Structures are given as C-alpha cells and as structure tokens.
Chain A
Amino acid sequence: MPANRFNSFTTYGVGIGLRIPHYDHILSRKPTCDWFEIISENFMVDGGRPLQILDQILENYKVVQHGVSMYFGSAEKLNREHLRRLKNLVRRTKSPWVSDHLCWGSGGGRYTRDLLPMPYTFEAARLTAQKIREVRDFLEVPVIVENVSSYAEYHVSEMTEWEFLNEVVERADCGILLDVNNIYVSSQNHSFDPAVYVNSVPTHRVAQIHIAGHSKYRKYILDTHDHPVIDPVWKLYDRAIQSVGHTATLLEWDDSIPSFTEVHSEALKANKYLASASLAAAV
C-alpha cells in the first residue's frame, strides 16, 4: 500500500513541515529528515530569499507541496494565476504529488483566509470533484485532498463528512491526505466516533497522512498545530496505518514552534506505528 498512483509510487517516510524558525538549523547542520512539506503559497513568488532557501533545501532533501488556498470547494472558478504559479513551483520542487484541502474559502473574488467546511451535498461533491480534476490536469501531477477540521455543520448537508470525502475522491479519482488530527478534532466538535471515519476511508487512495497537535477549549477543540500529538490522535494514527499500510507521514507544527530537534523527535514517534504495521503486513 505505501506506494500508489496517488503519491507517484513513492515510499516517503516521516517528515515535518518546513518552517522559518528551522531554516538556520537545517541549512547549517543538515540534519537527517526523510522529507519536508512546504506550504506552496509561501514559495509562489518571483524571486528573493524564499526561493533561495527553497533551492538550498532541494539540494539535500525531498520536498512535497501542500497548499492552503486552492479552495476546491468554492463555487467560483479556479484562479488561473494561482494555478500558473503553482505549476511553476511544481517544476522547481519536482513534488511527486500536490495536496490541498477539501474545503472552500473564497467567494466573489474575496478570500476568507480560512479552511471553511463544505456543505456535504451532492451538488458540492460534483463541483469539487470537477475542480480537483481540472487542477490535476493542469499541474500534471497527482492531486490529493485533505480532510479539514471543522467547528460547524450545515443544515443542508445530505451525508456525513466521510461519505462526502468518499463521494468526492471517487468522482475526482484522486488521492487522500488523511489528517488524523483533523478527524479527531471534528469528532470531538461534532460528537461522532473517529474510528468510524477512519474505517470508512478508501485505503487504496490514501497517499499521505498528517498528524498534529491542537488546543482544547471548554466547549470545542481548535486545530492550532501548536502542541505535541496527543495519545488519542496517535491511536487513531495507529488504526489508520494498520488499515492503510506504511504511508508517508508528516507532522504539522505551525505556532509556538519549538526547536527542529523537538519537532522532528515528535514526528519520529510515528515510526513505532509504521514499524508495527510493516511487521503485521510481513506476517
């Protein structure tokens, strides 16, 4: 299962998100790290330091692109300038796949700068799948979609989130970036069993997994990426790995970012689960 057509038949291990506070450490010490995930939009520029840093990273590491503002689920058309810049970046990084979120966030030419949850309707699934296909055809690399964490549900929804995810990826014939922290966060906010979600995911489409920490408030959980991964999320990760197999895994840590060593150590905890999954597969 590790290598599939949705991750260009790669076998990436455990990576972390490339973040500015770690640049000096990475460039000067060149620590071992299986791969880095970059936020595409941070490097969709014409020149200067961002691209200089990226090129230096590319000399020594594998890089995968992760976007935050394609908004596959927005009712309006795709932004052609965005696509053009994204494709230029793909050529530079040789990212074997490109990911973005199963969400919406723009309307009437305005960007809400957030990963807003989709209404789980057949109309939305059709439109979203069509846009994912358009992006994949334009970029000429596999496109995978990530489930987002959410704090609201719509009256108009006609199915569960996991049914919607299945509906979209089947229509788009695309891969999945399974974020087990997001599943956990949403399960707490919407009172569903996260194991049911994980069990319903079409395993053959999972190309990558995200893990992260979050913040717990009195009445809800916020996906803040500013803490270590909690045990229930590791358990969910274990469940996912047991069914999906050894899959490229990435730890996101975006706020109150500790040292590279601390973030990487947290990410490497995934190896325990990956090894056990590999062993189970061998037996």
Chain B
Amino acid sequence: MKLITLQRRVARAVMTPLTPGYRMRRVAPGGKPMSAVANGIIKPNDRLTSFERLEIYNRQYWFRVLDAFSDDFPGLRAILGDRHFDALAKHYLVDCPSQSFTMRNLGSRLESWLRKHSRYTSGRLQLAVDMVRLEWAEIETFDSASEPPVTAAALVGADPARLRLRLQPYIRLLDLRYPVDDLLLAIKHDASTNVASNAMQERQKHKKVSAVTRLKPAPVYLAIHRLENTVYFRRLDREEFAILSALVHGRTLERAIVAGFRSSPVPVKDRAPIVAAWFQHWSSLGWFVM
C-alpha cells in the first residue's frame, strides 16, 4: 500500500465521529465495517484488536478537538446549553476540521457555518451568531500584530481631507444585536471563581441559563482591543463605531467623520467637541497607525 493511500485511510477513520458513548463507530464512512478497515491496516496484538488500536487514535482526535473548541467558545455553550453545544461542536468539526498547523484557528469558520446551520442554535440564531463573532474576535485580538501608534506630533498640520488613518491590526469592530459582551464577561467571571461543590456549580449553571433567557436584543457597538496585551471590550456610540469603521475601509478622516454622523441625532453644533474627545481617547489607547 502506498504511503498516501494508507494515510488517507487512517486519517479518514481517525476523524470519523464517535458514537454518542464516545466509542469508535462500527461502520466506517462508505458503509464498510470499521473492523474491516482497521484489520486491513493495523496489526492486532495479544491485548488489543486492530479495531481497538485504531479506536485509541479516533478517540484522542475527538477529545482533543472538542476540548479545544469548547475552551474557545464558552459563551456559545452557555447560550445553547451543554447538549446542544456538544451536538453543534461535533457537526461543525466534521464539516470544518482543522486546516491549520495551529488549533487557534479551529473556530475561524464557525460564524459562516452557523448561519447555514441555524437548526443547531435552538431558535437563537442571532444571539448565537453575535456570541460567536465576539468570541472569535477575542481570539484574533489576543495574538494579532501591533504596530507603532501614530503620535500626536505626526498629525500636526495634517489635512483631514487627505489624511487616512488605519487602526491597529489587533482591533476588531463589531455591531451586535445583543449585549453579549456583558454575558461573556459574566460567564468568564463565573468560570474563574473557585467553585467548591457540585451544588455550587449547579447554582451557577442555573444563574447562567437565566442570564441568557433574560437577555433582550439591544444594539451594541464594540471595539475589541488590547491594552498592555490584555484584551478588552469597549462599547462605542453608534457614530463612534461608524467613524472607526469608515477609517478601516480606507476613507479619509474628513469622509469618515461625515459618514459617522450620517442620520445622527447629535446636533451639528455639538459634534466637534465630541469627535475631539473620541480622537483623544482613541489616540491615548494607541489605536491609530499610519
């Protein structure tokens, strides 16, 4: 058997979903008995059949990717509940297995997958999508590049009609329909609290579930950013979000500000001091690069 043939067969078997009891399936993809697949490739020994030896790798694969996926999306788990989350995770990882040398990118296709597979969201598609966008943005912000920020001196005399500013590569801007930032922070707070007993864990779980059920839609504009390499969620005004988004899309400073206040209720006379304060704050956080 050629190397590539053997590796394809083993990889296919190893990545085949487990049974609900987390064992290797008896039937391989394509309908052949898994024992026949295993017998054709792997030697048995005096303690384990070929099937059992292959199963060790099959289980390790799934335990590893499910653990990593679960670690990355605790907010989604809280929204869906354990049973629905586990079902979603298994199906997502079958459709979108790791294609990267790092597990960090395991959830990179989750948002688009979720939009096409709304049946896994228990009727809470928008809430689930919002949470996934936030959790993926947090992953990206954590280890994306940073560049030297623009100094105030570098901007002196700059013409707003020509000046184009970029945001730090680690900043992600999100417009959400649910305030999932509060929910995620609460979930993480619970997780970091030392839980001493099962009863306590159960109480916290109920608290989490009721927090999700109470969550009402409310538009939220967020910047996911870093300060001294810690990730923060910063809520933005709608106009603030629109200006930053326009800068991300390459608009000049002048055009970005115009776009930011399009159909804004903020009176024209009040806008200049507001924009000045925003720019001062963004600059103090080192958000702009040339």
- A45, CB-defined interface residue at 8 Å: yes
Question: Are A47's CB and B143's CB within 8 A?
Answer: yes
Q: Report yes or no: A151 in contact with B4, Cβ–Cβ below 8 A.
A: no
Least distance between B108 CB and chain A CB atoms (Å): 13
- Known pairs A112-B11, A219-B52. 9 more at Cβ < 8 A? A48-B226, A108-B8, A116-B14, A119-B1, A127-B3, A151-B57, A155-B43, A190-B45, A220-B56
- A-B contacts, 20 of them at CB < 8 A, read A44-B102, A48-B141, A48-B144, A50-B143, A69-B102, A107-B8, A108-B11, A110-B15, A110-B97, A110-B99, A111-B99, A111-B101, A112-B15, A112-B61, A124-B3, A127-B3, A154-B42, A189-B45, A191-B45, A222-B56
Looking at the assembled complex, report how far the CB atom of A23 sits from the nearest CB atom of chain B, in whole angstroms. Answer: 12
A130 interfacial by beta-carbon distance below 8 Å: no
Establish whether residues B42 and A152, one from each chain, have CB atoms under 8 Å apart when the complex forms.
Answer: yes
Note all chain A residues with C-beta closer than 8 A to B47.
219-220
Q: Within 8 Å of chain B (Cβ to Cβ): is A121?
A: yes
A212 CA to B151 CA, complexed, in Å = 50
Is A104's CB within 8 Å of the partner chain B?
yes
A46 within 8 A of B: yes
Q: In this complex, what residue of A is CB-closest to B1?
A: A156
Interface bits A91-116 vs B (CB < 8 Å: 1, else 0): 00000000000001011111111101
| Structural contact, A82 and B101, CB atoms closer than 8 A | yes
Asked if residues A46 and B143 are in contact (CB atoms below 8 Å), the reply is: yes
Is A79 in contact with chain B by the CB < 8 A criterion?
Answer: yes
Total contacts A-B at CB 8 Å: 125
Residue of B nearest to A47 (CB): B145
Q: Which has the most chain A C-beta neighbours within 10 Å: B3, B56, B65?
A: B3
Give which listed residue, A69, A82, A106, A123, contacts B3 with CB less than 8 A. A123
- Asked if B19 lies at the interface with its beta carbon under 8 angstroms from chain A, I say no
- Given B11, B102, B229, which contacts A41 in the complex, CB threshold below 8 Å? B102
User: Does A75 sit at the interface, judged by CB under 8 A?
Assistant: yes
Task: Tell me the nearest residue of chain A to B62, going by C-beta.
Answer: A113
Contact with A along B216-250 (1 / 0, CB 8 A): 00000000001001100000000000000000000
Residues of A within 8 Å of B15, CB to CB, are 110, 112
The interface centre, meaning the residue of A50, A76, A110, A222 with most chain B CB atoms within 10 A of its CB, is A110
Chain B proximity of A116: nearest CB distance (Å): 7
| B87 close to A (CB within 8 Å) | no
In the bound assembly, the distance between CA atoms of A219 and B53 in angstroms comes to 10
Structural contact, B42 and A123, CB atoms closer than 8 A: no
B48 touching A114, Cβ below 8 Å: no
- Inter-chain CA distance A70–B102, complex, in Å, is 11
A109–B96 Cα gap in the complex (Å)? Answer: 11
Considering only residues 47-102 of chain A, those with a C-beta below 8 Å from chain B are 47-52, 69-70, 74-76, 79, 81-82
Distance in angstroms from A98 CB to nearest chain B CB is: 14
A140 at the interface (CB under 8 A from B): no
Q: How far is the CB of B83 from chain A (nearest CB, A)?
A: 24
Which of A111, A124, A127 is the one whose CB lies under 8 Å from B100? A111
A104–B48 Cα distance when bound, in Å, is 22
- CB of A153 closer than 8 Å to a CB of B: yes
Cα distance A109–B158 in the bound complex, in angstroms = 48
* A50–B144 CA distance with the chains assembled, in angstroms: 10
